[in-house]
Amino acid sequence: MQRKDLAQTVARLNATTWADDATGLLDQVLNRGLVGQVAMVSSFGAESAVLLHLLAQVQPAAPVIFIDTQMLFAETLDYQADLASRFGLRDVRRVTADELTLRRTDPWGNLHQSNTDACCDFRKTQVLDRALAGFDGWISGRKRHQAGTRAALELFEADEAHGRIKINPLAYWSAADIAAYFEAHDLPRHPLVARGYPSIGCAPCTSAVGAGEDARAGRWRGQDKEECGIHFVDGKWVRTAA
């Protein structure tokens, strides 16, 4: 889709979609072709069960892309398998960087120690770009309450670099809303949440969060970095807080 058409479509969708009806939005996107062919992208992280459960109620056969960076916590891999089975998700696509790229780019598995952006780029961004080829849009679990870079998040965003539309059904959900949904539906928590990990990424770049800290304080701790690079704000790649 052309940039102008994409921007106009996104503006129209944001102006006509109810922010408090995540189930209805997913139905329009997954069952009624609102934006064409769509996949969900899930990290199977701390809050992922909510959106995955909603998707399972609406369309359990929808494609769900899970990026395995090959540096994830073992608990995340177990949680992914558990949720997929528990919710009856029929098309979870576990994608990784190919072996040749791994050998060329990070043969010793320590690139994250010197250049986290480059590590995220080849282990996540490039992998996702390939996985989303042929899709018109993709569903994200991001929410406004999670970080400064997400404070103005809308239900629909323009991914201008690829001519796609990104859908954020839970953009307006608060932390309390998420907690209430977990309790109401008796959803299992990621095992690391109880150990102080409210936001979970790759094992080498994620640490536990202390009392009073921001939920994402444990992601790339000590670095000027808040996002891995697969998300954009106003069509631009976001590395640090706005």
For residues 143 and 174, give the distance between their C-alpha atoms in angstroms, rounded to a whole number. 8
Domain of 106 in residue numbering reads as 3-237
- In this structure, is residue 202 part of a structural domain? yes
Tens digit of each residue's pLDDT (9 = 90 or more) over 7-56: 999 999 999 999 889 999 999 999 999 999 999 999 999 999 999 999 99
CA dihedral sign, ordered 99, 101, 105, 110 = negative
- In this structure, is residue 242 part of a structural domain? no
Q: What is the CATH number of the domain that holds 149?
A: 3.40.50.620
Q: Residue 134's Cα: distance from chain center in Å?
A: 19
For residues 138 and 60, give the distance between their C-alpha atoms in angstroms, rounded to a whole number. 15
The model's pTM: 0.88
- In this structure, is residue 111 part of a structural domain? yes
**Number of domains into which the chain is organized:** 1
- In this structure, is residue 184 part of a structural domain? yes
- In this structure, is residue 24 part of a structural domain? yes
* pLDDT tens digits in sequence order for the chain, 242 residues long: 666 789 999 999 999 999 889 999 999 999 999 999 999 999 999 999 999 999 999 999 999 999 999 999 999 999 999 999 999 999 999 999 999 999 999 999 999 999 988 999 999 999 999 999 999 999 999 988 666 566 678 999 998 888 999 999 999 999 999 999 999 999 999 999 999 998 899 999 998 988 877 777 777 776 665 554 444 444 344 433 32
Active site residues: 228
Alpha-carbon distance values, 176 to 12, 20, 44 (Å): 29, 14, 19
Encoding tokens for residue 132? Answer: 């989303």
- Which residues touch 75 (CB under 8 Å, ≥6 apart)? 190, 191, 192
Alpha-carbon distance values, 20 to 14, 46, 155, 170 (Å): 12, 21, 10, 8
- In this structure, is residue 65 part of a structural domain? yes
Q: HSE on the CB side for 31, CA within 13 Å? A: 12
Please give, one letter per residue, the 3-state secondary structure of the chain: CCHHHHHHHHHHHHHHCCCCCHHHHHHHHHHCCCCCCEEEECCCCCCHHHHHHHHHHHCCCCCEEEECCCCECHHHHHHHHHHHHHHCCCCEEEECCCHHHHHHHCCCCCHHHCCHHHHHHHHHHHHHHHHCCCCCEEECCCCHHHCHHHCCCCCEEEECCCCEEEECCCCCCCHHHHHHHHHHCCCCCCCCHHHCCCCCCEHHHECCCCCCCCCCCCECCCCCCCCCCCCEECCEECCCCC
